[in-house]
Structure 1
Amino acid sequence: MVTLEKVRRDAPWAWIKGAIDDMAAAPFLSIGYGVVFTVIGLAITVGLWSLGQGAVVPVMMGGFALVAPASAIGIYRISQMRDQGKTPGLWDFWSIPKGRFTQLALLSVLMLVFFLTWARLAQMMFALFTHEADFRLDSFLPFLFTDVQGVMLMVIGTLVGAALALVAFMVSALSFPMMVDQDVDAVTAVVASIKAVKDQPDVMLVWAWIIAFATGAGLALFGVGIAITFPLIAHASWRAYKDFNPRPSPSAKEVEARLAEKNQA
């Protein structure tokens, strides 16, 4: 079991404000992380475009949102260092206790599975609806908006992607920051994240919409805005985790040990 604090309904806006403060305190580090992922995104976009596969770019952009929480560990560390009264550094990522890397890696694999599932589903939908459609973006966009099959692909693809993104959000909303900050296993962190969404859906669904809007805005100009929105959302996710303050219930062994110490005292 995990215990969570109850947060205010307008908490997401406080998380954004805290994120802006974090970015202002370490702008080169925070935006630097965003620039790295922007460059990677641009490289993938250019590569697909040059291969005449521009229609695949939106799929890859949508998939980025699924793996982004696992890619933001270094940004969480910036916020963590600030909370501890320390100056954030470039190599803080590697100062995470080694035991936590295994659990972070396990959950990162799960997020990768979400991404691969989305890619596979997108491939199946393309095969079902596009037939011989040209995958160059300049000719694929008219197909989406003027052809019945294209409209169906867009609607169904959006619904499927939204459902998968919601599940990924429930799993990762608090889990990655929690594992960076506490010695907990991946299952406990995921339970805390799902519990936050389940206990306060009004707050967390607003937060999910803010993330979706910020990600969409960041991806708008071929992903250039991600340099800002990616670290902003990552810092805000840390603030969300600190606000909920998840605390795992002690195990039976820990309870017995405490009782034994109390009896001896």
Structure 2
Amino acid sequence: MTDTTIETPDKTPDAAIENRIHGIGVREISTDQSGSWLEAGWRDFKRTPAIGLSYGAFCVLAGWLVVLSIFRTGQPYLTLPLAAGFMLLAPLVAVGLYETSRRLEMGENATLWHSLNGFRRNPGQIGAIGVVLMLFFLAWTRIAMLLFALFYNGTVPSLDVLVWETFFSRDAITFLITGSILGGALAIIVFAISVVSIPLLVDRDVDVITAVIISVSAFKKNWKVLIGWAAVIAILSACGMIAFMFGLAVIMPLLGYSSWHAYRGIIDTSQADVARLRRQVP
């Protein structure tokens, strides 16, 4: 296989762009763009339904396997924490969807095989940020186990009283508030370092540290808009998990495609000195 470079024109910057890294800058977004990103993501989904549904089906199957495993090991109390933890790893799962939207943007053919190019491009750097996300996921799992132990006297509620103890017991409100604050803090950190870093690693030949720095800069510059975007992602993902997670088959690829367009709307690469790379496949 060989690599070639492809350059496509960028949109006109929405505002003054400063502090470029490798010529890559961050646009300032003053209004919520969630609707336009979702609309663009839906267009990509309709153009490549087989790819989107394949990734969506993978998420549904993975979710079933995780739930089955925690029930078989007698840890049903981890169902909600792991469902929330899914949001920490989702950007990595969506790499193939970023690649699909990228190819559509450049007017190239996009198949399920082509989508796997996203994982083969910058594999070491994408793997590195994958390790970081996994560490956050494991940390959240440990925190959830510790919270259950602290609030329930060193034990965890059995399946028959799990819902009552979690939502309606005397300590439920304190437990839920504490868990939400800690989980929310981790989620914001992960979102800040991954919101544009992973699409950038798929799109450009940059290292993971550079990508994370740019991502955090993008979050700091547009935190109000991006907090809203994160809320949209969380709400839609939660809706997708209702009814045995079947909704994830559509919601997950929709959000993956939309996240690519969020990256393209936030990041300005018109003066980038690192080329867009494409790995050709048979």
Residue 129, structure 1, aligned to residue 129, structure 2: no
Query: Once the two structures are aligned, what percentage of the paired residues are identical?
Result: 28
Partner of residue 202, structure 1: 224
Bigger mean CA offset, 58-67 vs 40-49: 40-49
Partner of residue 134, structure 2: 112
> Number of residues paired by the alignment?
251
After the TM superposition, which parts of structure 1 deviate over 3 Å for at least 4 consecutive aligned residues? 93-99, 246-251
Q: 1:70 aligns with which of 92, 99, 104?
A: 92
Deviation of 1:96 after TM superposition, in Å, equals 4.7
For 1:218 and 1:74, the matched residues in 2 are separated by 20
- Structure 2: which 5+ runs fail to align? 1-20, 275-282
Partner of residue 122, structure 2: 100
Partner of residue 49, structure 1: 71
* Aligned-partner residue type, residue 77 of structure 1: E
After TM superposition, the structure 1 = structure 2 runs for residues 174-193 of structure 1, keeping only pairs within 5 Å, are: 174-193=196-215
Residue 150, structure 1, aligned to residue 172, structure 2: yes
Contact 2:97 2:253 (C-alpha < 8 Å) held by counterparts: yes
Deviation of 1:99 after TM superposition, in Å, equals 6.0
Bigger mean CA offset, 99-108 vs 214-223: 214-223
Q: 1:22 aligns with which of 37, 44, 51?
A: 44
Partner of residue 211, structure 1: 233
Bigger mean CA offset, 93-102 vs 190-199: 93-102
Identify the structure with the greater helix proportion.
1
Residue 9, structure 1, aligned to residue 37, structure 2: no
Residue 83, structure 1, aligned to residue 105, structure 2: yes
Deviation of 1:127 after TM superposition, in Å, equals 1.2
TM-score (norm 2): 0.83
TM-score (norm 1): 0.88
Contact 1:188 1:248 (C-alpha < 8 Å) held by counterparts: no
* Aligned-partner residue type, residue 242 of structure 2: A
Say if 1:178 and 1:250 are closer, same or farther in 2 by CA, change over 3 A.
Answer: closer
Contact 1:197 1:204 (C-alpha < 8 Å) held by counterparts: yes
For 2:270 and 2:129, the matched residues in 1 are separated by 18
Say if 1:212 and 1:98 are closer, same or farther in 2 by CA, change over 3 A.
Answer: closer
- Structure 1: which 5+ runs fail to align? 255-265
Say if 1:37 and 1:98 are closer, same or farther in 2 by CA, change over 3 A.
Answer: closer
For 1:94 and 1:143, the matched residues in 2 are separated by 43
Bigger CA radius of gyration: 1
Say if 1:100 and 1:119 are closer, same or farther in 2 by CA, change over 3 A.
Answer: same
Partner of residue 34, structure 1: 56
For 2:38 and 2:74, the matched residues in 1 are separated by 38
For 1:113 and 1:249, the matched residues in 2 are separated by 34
Say if 1:156 and 1:233 are closer, same or farther in 2 by CA, change over 3 A.
Answer: same
Partner of residue 262, structure 1: none
For 2:91 and 2:44, the matched residues in 1 are separated by 17
